[in-house]
């Protein structure tokens, strides 16, 4: 028995301005079976969390390299 999908999530490699994504959104809308494309506005809190995680990884990596 196989699974059935009701949605696919696309995550962009970085934040883009809305006008830079218009063509991408329109292209995805043209794919057979796509009912809706809904962009999500970048959250400043997301950027803060990402930076903290990067710092934590950098510190752990530096600690390992020092040993």
pLDDT in tens, 35-51: 999 998 888 888 888 88
Q: For residue 46, what pLDDT is reported?
A: 82
Percent of the chain with pLDDT over 90: 64
Q: For residue 43, what pLDDT is reported?
A: 84
Evaluate whether 29 touches 37 at the Cβ level (below 8 Å).
Answer: yes
Q: Quick check: is 38 in a domain? A: yes
Mean pLDDT of 19-47: 92
Mean pLDDT of 41-66: 90
Q: Quick check: is 12 in a domain? A: no
Q: Quick check: is 3 in a domain? A: no
> What total of structural domains would you count in the chain?
1
Quote the domain boundaries for residue 26: 18-66
Q: For residue 1, what pLDDT is reported?
A: 87
* Structure-block tokens of residue 21: 């994504």
Q: Quick check: is 5 in a domain? A: no
Contacting residues for 28 by C-beta, under 8 A, at least 6 apart? 10, 34, 37
Q: Quick check: is 45 in a domain? A: yes
**pTM metric for this prediction:** 0.60
Evaluate whether 28 touches 37 at the Cβ level (below 8 Å).
Answer: yes
Q: Quick check: is 13 in a domain? A: no
Q: Quick check: is 7 in a domain? A: no
CA distances in angstroms from 4 to 13, 20, 37, 58, listed in the order given: 27, 32, 19, 40
Q: Quick check: is 2 in a domain? A: no
């Amino acid at each position: 028995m196989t699974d059935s999908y009701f949605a696919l999530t696309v995550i962009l490699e970085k934040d883009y301005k809305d006008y830079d994504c218009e063509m991408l959104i329109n292209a995805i809308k043209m794919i057979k079976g796509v009912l809706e494309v809904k962009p999500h506005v970048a959250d400043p809190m997301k950027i803060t969390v990402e930076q903290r995680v990067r710092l934590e990884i950098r510190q752990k990596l530096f600690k390992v390299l020092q040993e």
